[in-house]
Structures are given as C-alpha cells and as structure tokens.
Structure 1
C-alpha cells in the first residue's frame, strides 16, 4: 500500500469516527429504516475510499458526506421503483412462467443497468430512444414528435446504442 493510500485510509477512518453516527442518524430520519440507513452510511464511506485523493474532501466533511449519501438514497429509491415495477409485471404471470429467484435477480440487475444508462442520457435522446424501441416509431416520426432534425434523431440513436453497448 502506498503512502498516499495509507493517508487516504487514515483520513477516511478519522471522518468515519467523527461523523458516522451523525450520518447514520441523518439517513435513518430520511429513510425511516435503521438497517437501510446503516447500509447507506457504510456505502458512503466506501465511496470516499474510492476517491482519488484525501485532499478532495474539502473543509466541510458533512456537506460532502450528505452529498454522497443523497446520491445513494436516490439510487436506492430508483432501484426500488424498478424492482417494484418488475415484480408487479411478473405477478400477473401464470405460475409455470414465473422466473426463478436466480433469473429474477439477473433480470433485475440488467434492468438496474438499463435504468442507470437511460437516466444518464439527455432528455430528448432518451425520449427518442424509447419512442424508437418501445413505440416502434420511425426516425422521421421521432424527429417530427420532438421537433428536431432527422440527423439529430440519428445522433441521439447512435449515442443511445453506444450507451447500451457500454451497459452490456
């Protein structure tokens, strides 16, 4: 372990000792679940450990911890929404067609990655991609619906397909 890594670990350890209790209580109030709060407080400090340097923590550690934790809370809520929608969908399947728990996990992981990819796309590009893939609209129809040029729709689709390849 390099001296920079040791310094980072020591800095995060100090932040953990000084702010973990506060962060856990803040997350518990936000989530209303002490178990989830503990998980996200832990994940917040793991994120700190994956940062490039301890100097990027700034003078306001609680602001940084809150910023990271809010992102993790939003990610958790988004994942719960995706899971809820998927489970609602398969709830209507006949028993022999219900996926096994292992298959459900694999499908949910793929859905989480797709959701993250779509969420990272600009709004019009995401809408163009969904219009094409879910609604079966042609690029010309999408251009008209979004009030953009055909070449712009083609760029949106190229970017979306590249994003899909990066998820795979």
Structure 2
C-alpha cells in the first residue's frame, strides 16, 4: 500500500469511526426506515472511498450530509421510476408480463437512462422527452423551445449519445 493510500485509508477510517453513527441517525430521521438509512450511510462512505480523496475537513458532518442528500435524491428518483414502471406493468395482460429477470434489466436500463438524461442541459432533455414520449416532430419541438430545428437535432444527438453510453456502462 502506498503512503497516499495509507493516508486515505486512515482519514476514511477516522471519518467513519467518528461520524457513522451520527450519519445513520440523521438518515434514519429523514428516511423513516432503518434498513434504507443504513444502506445509504454505507453508500456515503463508499463514495468517499471511491473518490480516492478524503480532504481535511473543517465540517465533516456537512460534507457527509451533502453526499448523503445526493444519494437520498437518487434513491427517491429510482423509487419513482420503479413505481411508474410497475404501474405500467400492472396494465399489461398476464401473457405479456416480462419475467422477473427482464423486469430487473429494464428497471436498471431506465435508471441508467434517467441518470444520463439528468446530465444534459434542460432544453436538450426536454427536446428528447418531447420527441420520444410525446412523438413531437422536430419543427414542433423547436417552436415550443424557441430554438431552431437544427438545434433540436443537435439536442437529440446529445441525448441519444448519453443514453447509448449509459447503456454501455450499465451492461
């Protein structure tokens, strides 16, 4: 283990020892459940370790809470996507119901696409969703967003690339 890895490990270990209980309680209070809070607390520290950098912190709890808030937002977004997907599945006839394995794969793909679209500028994301979900033509999207048709085409290219690479990374 290199000296920088050892320093990272010691800082992370100290951060965990001094603040894990506080963070788990903070998350329990906000999440209303022990299991999800414990998972998010662990995920918070995993993010710290994955960053390969634990800075010297004046406010370690604020630092951890910021990471945990982002993870909570991701958790709630995933729940919303899963709820919408399950509602759509409930409307399908039994004969067309996908297997549990296929449902999991589709849900993972939907979450990856959601994360990818979230990286786009608002207008690019909106253009993509209007085209894909509403079936709008580029000309109509351009008029609605106040941009040129060519700009809508550029937005679509960016969105499709983001979705493609999201799928590549999740596979």
Instruction: Give the Cα–Cα distance (whole angstroms) in 2 for the partners of residues 54 and 114 of structure 1.
Output: 30
Deviates more, 1:106-115 or 1:96-105: 96-105
Structure 2: 5+ residue stretches without partners: none
Deviates more, 1:46-55 or 1:82-91: 46-55
Q: What is the total number of aligned residue pairs between the two structures?
A: 167
Q: Which residue matches 2:3?
A: 3
TM-score (norm 2): 0.93
Q: Which residue matches 1:155?
A: 154
**What does 1:1-168 correspond to in 2, within 5 Å?**
1-55=1-55, 57-168=56-167
Deviation at 1:54, TM superposition (A): 2.4
Structure 1: 5+ residue stretches without partners: none
Partner of 1:54: helix, strand, or coil?
coil
Deviation at 1:53, TM superposition (A): 2.0
TM-score (norm 1): 0.94
Deviation at 1:106, TM superposition (A): 0.5
Instruction: Give the Cα–Cα distance (whole angstroms) in 2 for the partners of residues 79 and 119 of structure 1.
Output: 13
Structure 1 vs Structure 2 CA RMSD: 1.2
Instruction: Give the Cα–Cα distance (whole angstroms) in 2 for the partners of residues 17 and 85 of structure 1.
Output: 39
Instruction: Give the Cα–Cα distance (whole angstroms) in 2 for the partners of residues 53 and 77 of structure 1.
Output: 27
Deviates more, 1:157-166 or 1:69-78: 157-166
Partner of 2:27: helix, strand, or coil?
helix
Deviation at 1:52, TM superposition (A): 2.9
Deviation at 1:135, TM superposition (A): 2.0
Instruction: Give the Cα–Cα distance (whole angstroms) in 2 for the partners of residues 23 and 38 of structure 1.
Output: 9
Instruction: Give the Cα–Cα distance (whole angstroms) in 2 for the partners of residues 10 and 161 of structure 1.
Output: 42
Deviation at 1:59, TM superposition (A): 1.7
- TM-superposition CA deviations, 1:15-51 (whole Å, max 9, x none): 1110000000000000000111100000000000011
